[in-house]
Amino acid sequence: MEELTQWTIDTLDKAREQINKSTETVKDGLTKAATGFIELGYTFRQVNEKKLYAEGGYETLQEYAMQEHGYSASQVSRFQELNKEYSVDGNTPLLDDKWKGYSQSNLVEMLKLPEQIREVIEPDMKRDDLRQLTKDIESANEAAKEEEFINTITGAEEEEPVDRVILDIIKAPKVKERFEKIFDQLMNQGTDRDICMAFTENGFGNLSLRTSTIFFKGNMVKIVINDVVHNYSYSDLLDAMRKKRMTGGETAAEYYENLTGENLHEKIPASNVEKAASSEKETPKPKTETKKAEKPEVKHCETAKEEDKPEEENPLPKPADDIDVVDPGEVEAADIKECKIYGEGTFDYINTSHFAKEMYIFKGGTRIASYKVNFCPKCGARLGEAHE
């Protein structure tokens, strides 16, 4: 292919050049990003297979990718896997035409699914929906395996996939809502297109059921059980319904109840309606801002009521083990800040301006004791720095 001539990756320099170009393609947009991922995967595969990383003095592809391009080992592995699954012939730098239009995030999510299931997924499906669908398929697979095991043990007759799941399809809420149109087709069968539009609103969609996943696509119904896709026409769905119950003179509602045991027009009990209504998000009412009464700021060493001072924030000072009583010494009047000890007249002054968290006790201008303290015993202020 002429497009592949430029993709001869035979030196590390060529690989570097191509990786940088593909990285720019990834940054260019969602659909182009998918193309860039395929290109990166191909280039990294070539570097690995030909051990070109050794030209740069690297021991592994992962070491080279991280050191020179900032790609982690898991990213490099993902690029290579995307290339194997979505490139032309599984080993080229070209995105296969059938995957064009898919975003790179969807292609990554679809790696968890077998190829035959990937092919029934619409390109424009949202990533979150695809992620949920993947989980639903896994859950249905587990339930299907359990059902098959029980049928094997009990010797139950094996049914055709469409016969096996037809009741689950009919009881699905989306299909139940449209059953009167489906019943009309059952009684007066038209074309597959008519039947398709009876089952679906716009001719395509999917259902996640107990043991299967159903895809309505074009003129086919694709039933997935245990990762195997079974293709049926829309007429086959009506035939499966007839096998479960032959038509008589019933109304759509009667036929539905006789077929499924459920009331076609069953209304939600009032109690459930109230419960559902109460669970809906109510429009938040504008909050009325109520200003909290602000406590007047008590400056350090101002008189404060005892009840305003939490006990843990206003502990009584304890003498420091290593500084009990300090030799009296004269200090300058400027160094002394008046602060009479709360509730005591034993000492004239306390001073903490020299060292934070140390309190000096003065009497008559002479320092007579020193204490370790975190809070002022008068007002409860935390002592972090010398206070005013």
Encode pLDDT of 195-252 as tens digits: 999 998 887 889 999 999 999 988 899 999 999 999 999 999 999 999 999 877 789 9
The DSSP element (H or E) to which 220 belongs, if any, is: strand 220-225
> Could you identify the residue written with the tokens 């998000």?
281
Q: Which residues have a Cβ under 8 Å from the Cβ of 117 and sit 6 or more positions away?
A: 137, 224, 227, 229
Cβ–Cβ < 8 Å for 370, 361:
yes
In a domain, 169, yes or no: yes
Q: Exposure of 359 by Cβ count < 10 A (0-12 exposed, 13-18 middle, 19+ buried)?
A: buried
Distance CA 217, CA 205 (A): 7
The DSSP element (H or E) to which 20 belongs, if any, is: helix 12-26
Q: In this structure, are 82 and 52 located in the same domain?
A: yes
Of 39-43, 68-72, 265-269, the least confident: 265-269
Q: In this structure, are 69 and 35 located in the same domain?
A: yes
In a domain, 279, yes or no: no
In a domain, 33, yes or no: yes
Q: In this structure, are 162 and 246 located in the same domain?
A: yes
Looking at residue 266, its pLDDT comes to 76
Taking only the tens place, the pLDDT of each residue in 272-289 is 433 333 334 444 444 444
In a domain, 159, yes or no: yes
Answer yes or no: is pLDDT of 121 > 70: yes
Average confidence (pLDDT) over 313-333:
37
Taking only the tens place, the pLDDT of each residue in 35-48 is 999 999 999 999 99
Looking at residue 3, its pLDDT comes to 60
Answer yes or no: is pLDDT of 342 > 50: no
Q: In this structure, are 39 and 153 located in the same domain?
A: no
Looking at residue 367, its pLDDT comes to 56
Average confidence (pLDDT) over 364-373:
56
DSSP helix/strand/coil, 96: coil
More confident residue, 296 or 201: 201
Q: In this structure, are 242 and 335 located in the same domain?
A: no
In a domain, 161, yes or no: yes
Cβ–Cβ < 8 Å for 7, 93:
yes
Cβ–Cβ < 8 Å for 353, 367:
no
Looking at residue 116, its pLDDT comes to 87
Distance CA 19, CA 34 (A): 14
Looking at residue 381, its pLDDT comes to 56
Average confidence (pLDDT) over 65-93:
95
Q: In this structure, are 88 and 179 located in the same domain?
A: no
pTM: 0.60
What is the tally of structural domains in the chain? Answer: 3
Average confidence (pLDDT) over 354-382:
54
DSSP helix/strand/coil, 260: helix
Q: In this structure, are 159 and 97 located in the same domain?
A: no
In a domain, 40, yes or no: yes
Distance CA 173, CA 277 (A): 19
Six-digit token string for 214: 């159903």
Answer yes or no: is pLDDT of 300 > 70: no
Looking at residue 369, its pLDDT comes to 59
Looking at 225, 243, 260, the residue that finishes a domain is 260
Answer yes or no: is pLDDT of 183 > 60: yes
More confident residue, 43 or 358: 43
**Mean pLDDT in the chain?**
76
Q: In this structure, are 105 and 151 located in the same domain?
A: no
In a domain, 270, yes or no: no
Domain that holds residue 102: 2-111
Q: How do beta strands 318-319 and 366-372 pair? A: antiparallel
State the Cα angle at 315 between 312 and 318, rounded to 5°.
140
Looking at residue 77, its pLDDT comes to 95
Average confidence (pLDDT) over 292-310:
44
Looking at residue 335, its pLDDT comes to 37
Looking at residue 248, its pLDDT comes to 72
More confident residue, 282 or 97: 97
Q: In this structure, are 90 and 138 located in the same domain?
A: no
- pLDDT band for position 32 (cuts 50, 70, 90): confident
Q: In this structure, are 319 and 238 located in the same domain?
A: no
Distance CA 16, CA 234 (A): 53
Q: In this structure, are 160 and 99 located in the same domain?
A: no
In a domain, 215, yes or no: yes
More confident residue, 362 or 333: 362
Q: In this structure, are 24 and 89 located in the same domain?
A: yes
> Could you identify the residue written with the tokens 């949202």?
126
Looking at residue 363, its pLDDT comes to 56
